[in-house]
Amino acid sequence: MQTWEQQKYLSKLPDAKGAAYNDRLWEYEDHCLPDTRVELRQKIMDWFEDPNGEYIFWLNGMAGTGKSTISRTVAWELAEKKRLAASFFFSRDHGDISHAGQFFTTIAAQLTRSLPVLRPLISQAIQEHSDIWNQRLSEQWKYLILDPLKNAPAQSIQLVVVIDALDECDSTDDIQMILKLLAQAKCLETIQLRVLVASRPETPILLGFRNFPRERYQDFVLHNIPPPIVNHDISIFFRRKLSSVKSEPGLSTTPWPGEPIIQRLVEKADGLFIYAATIYRFIRDDNYTPEDQLSVILEDHNTPPQSPTKHLDDMYTKLLQQSVVGSQIVRVDDHLAVRFRNIVGSIIILFDIMAAKEIAKLLHVRTIATTLASLRSVLSVPEDEDQPVRIFHPSFRDFLLDSHRCLDSRFLIDPKEAHITLFRNCIMVLAELRQDLCNLREPGVSVGDIPEHIIQRYIPAHIYYACRYWFHHFQLGNPIQEDMDRILRFLAQDFLHWLEALSLIREVSNGVLIVADLEMTLRVS
Amino acid sequence: MKGVMLNRKGKLGVCPRLLEFADDARQFILHNRSIIEMAPLQVYSAALLFTPEASIVRKQYLKRIPWILMEPKVMQKWSPLIQILNGINGHASQINTVVFSPDGKLVASASDDFTVRLWNPATGGPCGVLQRHLGRVTAVVF
């Protein structure tokens, strides 16, 4: 096959947006500081260099123990050594990387770049199995990855696939299937494929590993590292990061904020790196002096009974009280808090990420920039307005949705309320659709003949989102009677416009499933 | 047009009109999936025009299509036939066997056109073509 012909086939491979460790999406994420996590990083390097090492390394850790930062650092180090085969960073709120649908095709696409000898083999596989991306995961794995690696010209080497946050993949069946398939890498002899998996210790993953013989994988439990080692690393982080916040040249020789305070912060962090990283972003906030922010954090609270997340929850609470409402006095009707729940509540349950401008349009508010600006320690809000808003860490979402953890009711998000609000907003967006949205005029125009930029112009992100997800929000919300009226009005006025839009964004099959589920849901409610 | 009635327990009740509409919408999209997938504006012409007389979607939307002078004669009700597996986007010849996968998530059809095609039974959409046979395919099993 000619090179151009290979390229033609390879370009068809679905390549999930945001999956790779170095994707633009992760631009401002931290790497491990030098001198931190030393032992663990060494252990990982030893593992993949060892020709007799296990096939899978499972980095197992609770929320906030630093898994993603380690994965990112290791992926980068492996790439420097030219030993990274591929990386896939799952994230539950991002379309393509919240599910397994494009997992193997993305790994295959990255393999064609990291190991060019595979290009002819993988393009051949695509030619022979047209539509492979619609086939089962086991087929995708076999034809796009396993067979090409088996048949590649001999070159004895161990390469690593880094998979982060596997627990954020939306289907537990798929998680177990992925683990089961990856374990087949054992049969590879010349090019050996090793897999580094980072995840929370959640049941489907525990079960997935339980099916493996012990000699196939090695695991490492982050939350079981002895506290002195973790505390040492966290204190390095605080010392280095905080002294950069406030350097007063010539005034003092001891760096701010001083060792006793650093020790208090380390104690509060209680082994969680996310605590340290969030505090750092909070103290750095330009609208306040670092001393004021620090004193808010250090203030001791009457805290409820002990729980493993007590310190973290306490920190999130203080941070929101300071940044959102500027007070600890609870008044639930506070309009700032209402705005917070509307905007942040939506952001944490959206099925896909969007830029701030697009979220504002979806929520029918003029702008959300002011609310977001006060939340830069927990939300990643890019200067570039076209880049998506993200939450920095899933523990923030967990916190907001849990009434045992988020004790200030002004910030507590009721997911059912948030879903139904989004449903109503989606339905309002769909009511703005009209016949012949793209001004095609000719009824016979085929969807393949419409340029992509035209479709994107007339179906911007918030309309796209509403078309795809209105029903999912309805299903997860707690509808009242008026919501049923909304559905009837939608069917009577906008149904065909919606079908036209689905055709333009090539989501008609999803539409079929939505309408079937809708009928079923109505029948049983 | 009220979508909901409150039943005795104070739970949400769904009015028959909404249920009928949703059911008709489901039939509409299932019967017309492949034409809508190909050409977005056919939603308002081919899909709507050949929809049975009794369809709520038809009654609701047909009056909005200004350029139709004479409607074609169509069936009274939705036909139980939802999809034909040969023709455009399907087999090019006679089909010999159709079989469900054990988990019910896939349908395979074997044809004289030398191929086996896979289908998603929930959406009717194609899931792949096995095309390395060198002759008519007369049987297929999972």
Report pLDDT for B99.
93
A134 CA: distance to closest CA in chain B (Å):
6
What token pair was written down for B12? 């949400």
Cβ of A70 under 8 Å from any chain B Cβ?
no
- pLDDT tens-digit profile of A268-284? 888 888 888 888 888 88
Residue A1 has pLDDT above 80, yes or no: no
Cβ of B20 under 8 Å from any chain A Cβ?
no
| CB-CB neighbors (< 8 A) of A484 in chain B | 3-4, 12, 14-15, 18
Name residues 118-137 of chain A within 8 A of B (Cβ): 128-132, 134-135
| CB-CB neighbors (< 8 A) of A438 in chain B | 40
Q: Nearest CB to B14: which of A484, A491, A511? A: A484
| CB-CB neighbors (< 8 A) of A130 in chain B | 128-129, 131
Cβ of A436 under 8 Å from any chain B Cβ?
yes
Q: How far apart are CA A218 and CA A196, in angstroms?
A: 10
Task: Tell if the CB–CB gap between A512 and B33 is shorter than 8 Å.
Answer: yes
- pLDDT tens-digit profile of A199-245? 988 888 888 887 777 777 888 888 888 888 889 999 999 988 888 87
| CB-CB neighbors (< 8 A) of B10 in chain A | none
Q: Is the backbone peptide bond immediately before A257 cis, with ω within 30 degrees of 0?
A: yes
> How many of the other CB atoms lie within 10 Å of CB of A221?
13
- pLDDT tens-digit profile of A467-501? 999 999 999 999 999 999 999 999 999 999 999 99
Instruction: Collect contacts of A133-138 with beta carbons under 8 A, ≥24 apart.
Output: A133/A12, A133/A13, A133/A14, A133/A102, A133/A105, A134/B126, A134/B127, A134/B128, A135/B118, A135/B127, A135/B128, A137/A100, A137/A103, A137/A104, A137/A174, A137/A177, A137/A178, A137/A181, A138/A177, A138/A181
Amino acid identity for residue A260 in this structure: P
A496 CA: distance to closest CA in chain B (Å):
7
Report pLDDT for B8.
42
Q: How far apart are CA A93 and CA A390, in angstroms?
A: 8
- pLDDT tens-digit profile of B1-43? 344 444 444 456 778 899 999 999 999 999 999 899 999 999 9
Task: Tell if the CB–CB gap between B12 and A488 is shorter than 8 Å.
Answer: no
Give the phi and the psi of residue A416 in degrees, each rounded to 5: -65, -40
Q: Nearest CB to B129: which of A130, A442, A496? A: A130
DSSP A378: T
| CB-CB neighbors (< 8 A) of A488 in chain B | 1, 3, 17-18, 21
- pLDDT tens-digit profile of A289-306? 888 888 877 876 555 456
Report pLDDT for A267.
84
What token pair was written down for B95? 């089909």
Which one of A454, A491, A498, A525 would you mutate to disrupt binding with B, by most B Cβ within 10 Å of its Cβ? A491
DSSP A95: G
| CB-CB neighbors (< 8 A) of B26 in chain A | 515-516, 518-519
Task: Tell if the CB–CB gap between A485 and B1 is shorter than 8 Å.
Answer: yes
Report pLDDT for A247.
61
CA A130, chain centre distance (Å): 30
Task: Tell if the CB–CB gap between B127 and A131 is shorter than 8 Å.
Answer: yes
3-class secondary structure, B136: coil
Task: Tell if the CB–CB gap between A484 and B126 is shorter than 8 Å.
Answer: no
Q: How far apart are CA A351 and CA A56, in angstroms?
A: 30
Q: Nearest CB to A443: which of B29, B30, B45? A: B45
| pLDDT, greater one: A92 or B61 | B61
Residues contacting B31, CB < 8 A, separation 6+: B51, B78, B79, B82, B83
Name residues 137-156 of chain A within 8 A of B (Cβ): none
Cβ of A485 under 8 Å from any chain B Cβ?
yes
Which one of A137, A433, A450, A519 would you mutate to disrupt binding with B, by most B Cβ within 10 Å of its Cβ? A519
3-class secondary structure, A91: coil
Q: How many residues does chain B have?
A: 142
Residue A78 has pLDDT above 90, yes or no: yes
| CB-CB neighbors (< 8 A) of A132 in chain B | 128
Cβ of B69 under 8 Å from any chain A Cβ?
no
| pLDDT, greater one: A249 or A182 | A182
The ipTM, to two decimals, is 0.81
Q: Nearest CB to B26: which of A131, A440, A519? A: A519
B96 CA: distance to closest CA in chain A (Å):
22
- Picking from A354, A339, A361, A358, the residue whose alpha carbon sits closest to that of residue A391 is A354
3-class secondary structure, A390: strand
Residue B96 has pLDDT above 80, yes or no: yes
- Picking from A263, A407, A411, A208, the residue whose alpha carbon sits closest to that of residue A324 is A411
Cβ of B105 under 8 Å from any chain A Cβ?
no
> How many of the other CB atoms lie within 10 Å of CB of A426?
25
Task: Tell if the CB–CB gap between B14 and A523 is shorter than 8 Å.
Answer: yes
Residue A55 has pLDDT above 90, yes or no: no
Cβ of B48 under 8 Å from any chain A Cβ?
yes
- pLDDT tens-digit profile of B37-89? 999 999 998 888 889 989 999 999 987 776 666 778 888 888 888 788 887 77
Cβ of A492 under 8 Å from any chain B Cβ?
yes
A453 CA: distance to closest CA in chain B (Å):
16
Task: Tell if the CB–CB gap between A443 and B57 is shorter than 8 Å.
Answer: no
- Picking from A82, A93, A96, the residue whose alpha carbon sits closest to that of residue A20 is A96
